[in-house]
Amino acid sequence: MADFDPDYEQITKLMVERVGGYASPKTQAKELMEMTGLEPDIAEAFFKGLTPRGAGRPSDVRGYAKKHGYQGKKKTPPKRG
């Protein structure tokens, strides 16, 4: 049994990257193994079902959807006078 203090935000970030198609299950499994101490087969199985075209979307994994087109606050240009 793996004995660790989980960082849920990091694990969620790994899952979102996988669902978004930015990483393969093997790459994400390596990172999860380093974080948690899980065996390679278990860590890879954790990411197998998360595919860009499959079971989930990033909003499903995160639990919320980001606003469409969110870029942060826009800077206002200085007034010329």
Tell me the pLDDT of the chain (81 aa) as tens digits.
556 666 788 888 888 888 777 788 888 889 988 888 889 898 888 887 766 565 566 666 666 666 666 566 667 777 886
Residue 20: which domain range?
A: 10-50
How far apart (Å, rounded) are the C-alpha atoms in residues 58 and 18? 9
**Which tokens belong to 61?**
């994994």
Task: Give the model's pLDDT for residue 19.
Answer: 79
Number of H helices, E strands in the chain: 4, 0
pTM listed for this prediction: 0.58
Helices (H), the chain: 8-19, 25-36, 40-48, 58-62
Residue whose tokens read 């075209």? 53
Q: How many structural domains comprise the chain?
A: 1
Q: How far is residue 57's CA from residue 51's CA, in Å, rounded to a whole number?
A: 8
Tell me if 26 is assigned to some domain: yes
Answer yes or no: is 21 within a domain: yes
Q: What pLDDT does 5 receive? A: 66
